[in-house]
Amino acid sequence: MDRLESPVTWTACIPLHLDSFAASSSKRCEITPLSEFELLQPARLVSRRSLGSDALPTQHLHFVAFSRQFHLVLKPDRSYASQLHPVVSTLIAQNGSRSELKTKELLEDFFTGYIDDQPGSRVTGYADRHRFHLTVYETDFNVLNIEPLSLLTGNQSEDRTLVYYDSGMNSTEFWCGLHNPSGNETLVETAAAAGSWRRYRRSADLQTSSTRRRVCRLQLIADHAFVAHVGSVSAALKFLIKATDDANRIFFNSVFTTSSGEVNFTAISFEVSSLVAMTGPTAVPASEAMHFNDANIHREVSAYQLLEAFADFRQNGLNLFAHCLNHLVAFRRLKKRLLGLAYQGTQFRSQPGGLCSNPSYSIHGRHTYVARNVGLTTFSNNKGEAIDVFLITSPQL
């Protein structure tokens, strides 16, 4: 496994205005920052399974959106198993007790397929109960997203489905955050587009062949507020698996260059080595510092404080050193409009931060040793509204 350096820049979120969903009665809506989307009632999303002896039965999904009839042909996708190292996922309860969920059970609900009249198209995603979360790659390079509206509203009785194209998302300014563990400041800056990602690599990696596949072992942790927001442990873990798969599709075909334009490396992918879901808030004595999974989820907190709490391996009891990168997906309101934060990596091995880096002493925070191979994303903006976490998580990885 090659050692890669961590990315440091956060990109745009698309905060969806939930009032627009509640107030709209038309099938096609115009809002900002989604310029166009459609809401499908359950009766308009028809799913049927093929009858026959096929070991992997085909599922057909029919719906009408954007004045067009869609017929998606879906089959169970076993390829997700190659991106998942663990046989089980770990569930941590409020009292700290641990249980396990077989990852195989989650993978049974994942699909791959195509649009019936577009043989070169591709569909990926999963079903959670009767709700579908799919990405459709059309042959003209348009990308259609099909998501349960409940993922954004947090209302589990909401049974409508949100459908929108990537092209329907408006550009907007956003906040980016990064932190250098050798300094004492958090840099906050605005940017105008999500394409200007900077990548930092350790100097020893520059000699690695660009044709060799690089795999980063990733631990994903969902806090209790995120699990509660999406409705269940299985829904939370499936969401994280799909986000990793979507990120792999981006990075495996991306070329990363230096500031002078030289190609550094290609063919990056992530292997999920551990999935952890916090099923309840962690009880924390009043005398202790903030815990990343505490019950006080409505209080707006500093992104740096939350990152240090997550990195405090002695307090949280997580194994953060068996993985190249540990990423927290939370539902917390962060100050300064930040939507995520990570420790900055450099090309110098002696400096902490980034993938596979060692812990170091925090002189500006908790005054203890903390992990530096960590990052976090919040599913909530600073108003407590849900956002599309994938739009932030994927560039961060």
Domain-embedded: residue 131 = yes
145/48 same-domain check? yes
**Token output for 189:** 């800056």
Does one domain contain both 219 and 281?
A: yes
Is 369 contained in some domain? yes
Q: How many domains does the chain have?
A: 2
Angstrom distance (rounded) from CA 333 to CA 257 = 34
Q: Is residue 31 part of a domain?
A: no
Tokens of 318: 């997580």
Instruction: Please indicate, yes or no, whether residues 230 and 323 belong to a single structural domain of this protein.
Output: yes
Q: Are residues 316 and 259 in the same domain?
A: yes
236 and 342 belong to one structural domain: yes
Is 384 among the domain residues? Answer: no
Q: Evaluate whether residue 94 is within a structural domain.
A: no
| Higher local confidence (pLDDT), 313 or 82 | 313
Higher pLDDT, 332 or 209: 332
The predicted-structure confidence for 71-120, as pLDDT tens digits, reads as follows: 999 998 876 655 666 656 888 888 888 888 877 777 888 999 999 989 89
Q: For residue 271, what pLDDT band results from cuts at 50, 70 and 90?
A: confident
Average pLDDT over residues 148-152: 86
Residues 370 and 273 in one domain: yes
Residue 7 lies in a domain: no
Q: Is the pLDDT of residue 166 over 90?
A: no
CB 84 within 8 A of CB 103: yes
pLDDT in tens, 3-13: 333 333 232 23
- pTM beyond 0.85: no
User: Which tens digit of pLDDT belongs to each residue from 204-258?
Assistant: 232 333 445 577 788 999 999 999 999 999 999 999 888 888 877 766 666 666 6
What pLDDT does residue 191 have?
25
- Report the pLDDT value the prediction gives residue 203, as an integer from 0 to 100: 25
CA angle 148, 216, 15 (to 5 degrees): 30
User: What gap in Å lies between CA 256 and CA 211, rounded to an integer?
Assistant: 13
Residues 227 and 363 grouped into a single domain: yes
| Judgement on whether residues 155 and 236 belong to the same structural domain of the protein | no
Q: Which residues form the domain of 163? A: 37-82+104-168
Instruction: Give how far the C-alpha of residue 241 lies from the chain's centroid of Cα atoms, to the nearest Å.
Output: 8
Task: Say yes or no: 234 and 366 in one domain.
Answer: yes
* Pairwise CA distance, residues 37 & 24, whole Å: 11
Residue 190 lies in a domain: no
CATH of the domain at 353: 3.40.390.10
pLDDT value at residue 138: 94
User: Does 116 reside within a domain?
Assistant: yes
Q: Is residue 142 domain-shared with residue 271, that is, in the same domain?
A: no
The confidence score (pLDDT) of residue 383 equals 81
Q: Same domain, yes or no, for 344 and 267?
A: yes
